[in-house]
Structure 1
Amino acid sequence: MSVWGQVVGQPEAVAELRAAVEHAARVHFSTDAGADESGRGSMTHAWLFTGPPGSGRSVAARAFAAALQCPRNGCDACQVCRTVMAGTHADVHEVATEGLSLGVKEMRALIERAARMPTTARWQIVLIEDADRMTENASNAVLKAVEEPNERTVFLLCAPSEHPDDVSITIRSRCRPLRLRTPGTDAIAEVLVARDGVDEQTASWAASVCGGHIGRARRLARDENARYRREAVLAVPRSLRSAAEVFAAADGLVGAAEAEVSALTGERDEAEREELAVSMGGGGTGKGVAQAQRAAKAAEKDLITRQKQRQTRTRRDSLDRALIDLAGYYRDVLVRGFGAAVTATHPDRAIEVEAAARDGSPVAALRRLEAVLRCREALETNVKPQIAVEAMVTALREG
């Protein structure tokens, strides 16, 4: 076993990363005894991991970080590998956002820590999971660090694509690209059985309907609520016979997203508020209480802002999963209408898709697919979810 066993369905990428790790082990630093310049430059200091959602960008980057730090190039058995994969290694600094963006303040603090000499390993590694969510100022801060790197610092950036909307051209031009692909169904099913203990039948089904998203496959295989939400979403095309049903469907989609927000963030938000109150001396008396209370109010305001951003992100992600399922359904109807021999997004809905293709036209299926995609774009531009979803389901009914 090695850390590369965590990277599913990416043999070409793993081979490239393994070669880089072997080269990195031979790098000489200026502080090494008897070092010369001959070995320097053989290790790329900045990488850009790209690939579709669920392809395992951050998993591959984390495995690479573990292999770079591990004395045995990623054995997955030593303390170094375990701490890196768990996100607790002192010289591997990870950043991911639960909100809508990564700000410059957070990125500057991260880069400052990463510029120091490693404490226990050969490298200081910065892993940015959501590089596409960096603000312009945050991107500029990262660009400066990538342009003038410390010889022991490695930057690992993860983004959906190399498009300028995801990663600026200036940052991209200074990174070595590593492109991941959508994992195959068999590879996903295999990892669900081996790693998560899912039975083969459930694993095969989850892998076939997850759209190549490993995390989604795991949720569908293990979480009954996730399966229920998918069933509810795929029932929408059959429940738009009247105007009342249109608005009921919109309410159902938005309501399901709100319920997921409450389930995922409600208890956590309350616990964070209580923890903040205790840490700021809530309920205390005596000298300095007034000043502490002012500081506590400022900290509470900042916490509430972060929690609202997290709720917005969770709501968007929940709705986006529903919209992706709907888009996959109408995509299946469209290709079935044309008789194309391609793999279905929802193979377990073959009978319904066949009936929809027979009763409608490819043009109508295409218009409905475009309505779903327009809704996704509207949500990204901060259109109110209720309005965007109602417009979509109205278009779905009209065809």
Structure 2
Amino acid sequence: MSVWDDLVGQEPVIEQLSAAAGGTGGVAHAWLFTGPPGSGRVAAARAFAAALQCTQTPRGCGHCTSCHQVLQGTHADVEVVRPEGLSFGVKDARSLVLRASSSPSGGRWQVVLFEDADRATEGAANALLKAIEEPPARTVWLLCTPSPEDLLVTIRSRCRLVTLQTPPIAAIADFLVQRDGVDRGTADVVARAAQGHISRARRLAADPAMREVRDGVVAIPRRLTGVSPAVAAAETLVKAAEAERDAQTAELNETETSALRKALGESEKGRMPRGTAGALKDLEARQKSRATRVLRDALDRTLLDLASYYRDLLTLQIGAGGELVNIELGPELRTAAGKGRPEDTLRRLDAIMDCRERLAANVNPQLAFEALTLALRTG
């Protein structure tokens, strides 16, 4: 066992980071971890943080107390930043820079692991830039984004780049079997369905309900036989995403609000002291932003699942010979491929990408999905 065990199909990255943590590759003070969603960029950054704090040789043993604490998220000298909302503002960035400037209390380094650093606003990015340009001697920044272009050029030019690739389907399936004890049949199906997204493959393997939701999404195309079914399908997809949002945020919101009210001095009758309304309003705004992000993520997964159906269809229509993502739908896809034209399938894939762009531009999800399903319909 080592800290690198959760990195699937990333041997060059492991070699690069192991050498740096061991002192042979040099420890830069700012690193940029990039790669497509699900490739494991956060897992790679976390493993590197553990290797930097490891007390054994070679670094990253996975057994010592420091490795265990970093991987569990309890190490005092590893600050993990997870933007919960749609953006990470300048106020948060300045607070983070202040915390990052402190000396390590017991570890070798003061490590800041910033997940989804691309969510930093322009002001926040400028605040981070100065800290990355002139970091304290024992501070290391680990920034994670899908692409280097997601950060200011002035920031990425000061970072050592770590590029992860989409792991092979076979490697993900092997990982699920060996690490999580998933049966081979299920592992093969969910590894393909996740399209290289390791975390999603693990969730699909562990949660039959999530697999049912996905099955419902890829069944949508056969229902789009006219205007009325298309509008109904859009409503179904959006409601499913909203249900996922509510399931993820409702209990957390209640816990956070209760804890804050208690910390602010709530009376036994539920009354709050004067001057506390602002803090509660700020929390409510953060919770609303988080809920919006969760909904957008759920809708985006829905769109990617839909795209996988039409990708399979196009593969069959042009005779590309690639392996199907939705292999269990093989007979249905072959029948549909024989009845349709590649140019129509490409048009539908473009419609899905257009919907993603509309959602990113804050278009009402119901309207965006109605426009999509109408564009996808076959009748």
Q: TM-score, normalised by structure 1?
A: 0.91
Map 1:1-399 to 2 at 5 A.
1-23=1-23, 42-72=26-56, 73-163=59-149, 166-283=150-267, 293-397=273-377
Give the deviation of 1:398 after TM superposition.
5.3
Query: CA RMSD, aligned part only?
Result: 1.7
C-alpha distance after superposition, 1:168-220 (max 9, x if no partner) = 11111111111000111222112212222212221122112210001111111
User: Is the 1:333–1:365 contact (alpha carbons within 8 Å) kept by the matching residues of 2?
Assistant: yes
In structure 1, C-alpha distance between the alignment counterparts of 2:300 and 2:138, rounded to whole Å:
39
In structure 1, C-alpha distance between the alignment counterparts of 2:20 and 2:54, rounded to whole Å:
13
User: Is the 1:323–1:372 contact (alpha carbons within 8 Å) kept by the matching residues of 2?
Assistant: yes
User: Is the 1:209–1:347 contact (alpha carbons within 8 Å) kept by the matching residues of 2?
Assistant: no
User: Aligned partner of 2:254: which letter?
Assistant: E
Q: Which has the larger radius of gyration?
A: 1
Say which SS state the counterpart of residue 356 (structure 1) adopts.
helix
Say which SS state the counterpart of residue 112 (structure 2) adopts.
strand
In structure 2, C-alpha distance between the alignment counterparts of 1:199 and 1:58, rounded to whole Å:
26
In structure 1, C-alpha distance between the alignment counterparts of 2:358 and 2:297, rounded to whole Å:
14
User: Aligned partner of 2:372: which letter?
Assistant: M
User: Aligned partner of 1:363: which letter?
Assistant: E
Say which SS state the counterpart of residue 156 (structure 1) adopts.
strand
In structure 2, C-alpha distance between the alignment counterparts of 1:351 and 1:169, rounded to whole Å:
48
Give the deviation of 1:24 after TM superposition.
6.9
Say which SS state the counterpart of residue 273 (structure 2) adopts.
helix
Give the deviation of 1:284 after TM superposition.
5.4
- How high is the sequence identity, in percent, across the aligned residues? 52
- Name whichever of 189-198 and 231-240 sits farther off: 189-198
In structure 1, C-alpha distance between the alignment counterparts of 2:319 and 2:99, rounded to whole Å:
56
Q: TM-score, normalised by structure 2?
A: 0.96
- Unaligned 5+ residue runs, structure 2? none
Say which SS state the counterpart of residue 23 (structure 1) adopts.
coil
- Name whichever of 188-197 and 370-379 sits farther off: 188-197
In structure 1, C-alpha distance between the alignment counterparts of 2:364 and 2:24, rounded to whole Å:
49
- Unaligned 5+ residue runs, structure 1? 26-41
C-alpha distance after superposition, 1:68-116 (max 9, x if no partner) = 1111111111110111111111111110112101111112111211111
In structure 2, C-alpha distance between the alignment counterparts of 1:79 and 1:221, rounded to whole Å:
30
In structure 2, C-alpha distance between the alignment counterparts of 1:314 and 1:327, rounded to whole Å:
20
Give 4+ residue runs of structure 1 displaced > 6 Å after superposition: none
Say which SS state the counterpart of residue 113 (structure 2) adopts.
strand
C-alpha distance after superposition, 1:288-313 (max 9, x if no partner) = x99x6233211111111111111101
Give the deviation of 1:59 after TM superposition.
0.4
User: Is the 1:48–1:159 contact (alpha carbons within 8 Å) kept by the matching residues of 2?
Assistant: yes
In structure 1, C-alpha distance between the alignment counterparts of 2:190 and 2:87, rounded to whole Å:
31
In structure 1, C-alpha distance between the alignment counterparts of 2:161 and 2:323, rounded to whole Å:
29
In structure 2, C-alpha distance between the alignment counterparts of 1:298 and 1:24, rounded to whole Å:
51
In structure 2, C-alpha distance between the alignment counterparts of 1:196 and 1:299, rounded to whole Å:
42
Give the deviation of 1:392 after TM superposition.
0.3
User: Aligned partner of 2:167: which letter?
Assistant: P
C-alpha distance after superposition, 1:251-286 (max 9, x if no partner) = 00000011111111112212222222222221259x
User: Aligned partner of 1:74: which letter?
Assistant: G
Give the deviation of 1:5 after TM superposition.
0.9
